[in-house]
Amino acid sequence: MNERLFRQAMGKFATGVTVVATEVGGKVHGMTANAFMSVSLNPTLVVVSIAEKAQMLEYMKKSKQFSVNILSAEQKELSMIFAGQLKENREVSFDQLGGVPVLPGAIAQVVCEVSAAHVEGDHTLFIGKVKEIQVNEHRGEPLIYYSGQYRSLAE
């Protein structure tokens, strides 16, 4: 399969953007991810897909818990920071929800315990059992990702 064609096709699936965050040894690690999906209502489960080459993989295996922070349109810079797209290191402060770091300003914060991890190809699918949720309606519109570009919602 042609890899470029695969990326081009997958990029046509417009998504929101999340930052997945976890803490190991008192250090918070965040990573931008759009491979996020709601899985089950009863029990409440979500999934995130983490590349084998991502530093995040080992942190997730160690901490066994993580947050998914759904970014607002105003948080494009944070998406770039946590995707390694900005050259300089930036200090980012996190809040805590249920003992897990969450990103202030996100339109929703979902805290999970890892309930299963499935290695599939060059990614690991982490199934998260949802423990805490905070929805911040007043944060406005979500950040959108489409064809490798950040976008915003249009009426």
Residues near ligand NAD (CB under 6 A) are 7, 10-11, 34-35, 49, 51, 83, 148
Residue 11 interacts with, from ligand FAD, ligand NAD, none (CB under 5-8 Å by kind): ligand NAD
Residue 7 interacts with, from ligand NAD, ligand FAD, none (CB under 5-8 Å by kind): ligand NAD
Residue 3: its H or E element = helix 3-10
Dihedral sign from CA coordinates of 113, 98, 135, 12: negative
Closest CA to 114 of 56, 51, 64: 64
- Count residues binding ligand FAD (CB under 6 A): 24
**Secondary structure (DSSP) of 12-38:** TS-EE-EEEEEEETTEEEEEEE--EEE
Give 48 or 130: the residue with its C-beta nearer to ligand FAD.
Answer: 48
Residues that bind ligand FAD (CB under 6 A): 17, 28-35, 49-51, 54-56, 79, 81-84, 89-90, 92, 145
